[in-house]
Structure 1
Amino acid sequence: MRQYSLIQILYLIYCKSRGFFVFPNARLIRFPIDLRGKRFIKISKGFTTGKGCRLEAYSVNKQKVLIIGDNFQMNDYVHITAMNSVVIGNNVLLASKIYISDCSHGSYSGDAFDSHPSSIPKDRKIHSRPIHIEDNVWLGEFVSVLPGVTIGRGTIVGANSVVSKSLPENVIAVGIPAKPIKKFNFETQSWEKI
């Protein structure tokens, strides 16, 4: 069982009380937290954060663009930005120092909309593509999730990985870019190398 000092217990009571006024159905919001565009963020019951998290929602159509499911937990210093759509499912666990963004300064996909390298990065047109993180996903420390990807149900992404392409369900993926290295076999009830 965890042992908290008196100061830690008082801090948790403070966070629980203050968090009620930020998101009433949250389990626990540890402060400080940076919320930008709160009216475009929808969280569900059981929402839990670590310290120093940053949630940003910049909706162009005035709709909710950052939607988080039940029993979501993120640890310290997670940064999530949504402009088009970031949908995170139920029972998702995020380690610390994770970056998730559906948008970037400029386009770099190799088409007529590409940004020119001589333009000032902060002045480049912002491009956005939706992100979907399905139920029961676990992202390890320092993972980055880039625009336009889906991470399938039950998938685990290893520490320091960059998810630049969609990942199927029930795999363990690692690397830059993240690639599946194991898949769960429901017949043998075990993780097997791919």
Structure 2
Amino acid sequence: MGYRSFIGAMDSIVIGNDVIISSDVRIFDNNNHPTEPDLRRQMSHSDFYGELWTWKYAAHKAVEIGDNVWLGEYSAILKGVSIGGGGYRCQSQCSN
């Protein structure tokens, strides 16, 4: 795993064999924060280390990265993404 890369799992992140993760890659299975306006408004008026700032209220969905995948520098893999084995081209969907 490359320098300054980060994996943040709330639900499930499965990474296959022989996966190369370059530097500055981010892999999250959640939104990192709630997306509902009322909760975000409450967050802006609450203690930074309070419960609203945890991932408890963030939407989440499993991430799967297949075997023999290379995640290039500055890649962002977000909730619900599935990259098939040998995947090499990713936009909004991944294909071989």
Tell me, yes or no, whether TM beats 0.5: yes
The sequence identity of aligned pairs, in percent, is 35
Whole-Å Cα distance in 2 between the matches of residues 166 and 101 of structure 1?
A: 16
Which residue number corresponds to residue 67 of structure 2?
135
Question: Bigger radius of gyration, 1 or 2?
Answer: 1
State the SS of the aligned residue for 1:153: coil
- The structure richer in strand per residue is 1
Which residue number corresponds to residue 102 of structure 1?
29
> Number of residues paired by the alignment?
84
The answer as to whether partners of 1:133 and 1:153 remain within 8 angstroms in 2 is yes
Q: Say whether residues 1:118 and 2:41 are aligned partners.
A: yes
Amino acid at match of 1:155: G
Deviations 1:117-158 (A, max 9, x none): 534267271221000000110011011111011011111257
Which residue number corresponds to residue 11 of structure 2?
84
Q: Judging changes above 3 Å, is the alpha-carbon distance between structure 1 residues 120 and 157 closer, same or farther for their aligned structure 2 residues?
A: farther
- Of 62, 79, 84 in structure 2, the residue corresponding to residue 147 of structure 1 is 79
The answer as to whether partners of 1:139 and 1:157 remain within 8 angstroms in 2 is no
Amino acid at match of 1:120: M
Per the TM alignment, residue 106 of structure 1 is displaced from its structure 2 partner at its CA by 1.4
Q: Judging changes above 3 Å, is the alpha-carbon distance between structure 1 residues 157 and 77 closer, same or farther for their aligned structure 2 residues?
A: farther
State the SS of the aligned residue for 1:118: helix
CA RMSD in angstroms comes to 2.2
The answer as to whether partners of 1:137 and 1:154 remain within 8 angstroms in 2 is yes
Amino acid at match of 2:88: I
Whole-Å Cα distance in 2 between the matches of residues 156 and 150 of structure 1?
A: 13
**Is there any run of 5+ residues in structure 1 with no aligned partner, and where?**
1-73, 108-114, 171-194
State the SS of the aligned residue for 1:106: coil
Whole-Å Cα distance in 2 between the matches of residues 97 and 77 of structure 1?
A: 5
Per the TM alignment, residue 166 of structure 1 is displaced from its structure 2 partner at its CA by 4.1
Whole-Å Cα distance in 1 between the matches of residues 4 and 89 of structure 2?
A: 18
Whole-Å Cα distance in 2 between the matches of residues 97 and 91 of structure 1?
A: 19
Whole-Å Cα distance in 2 between the matches of residues 97 and 138 of structure 1?
A: 13
TM-score normalised to the size of structure 1? Answer: 0.39
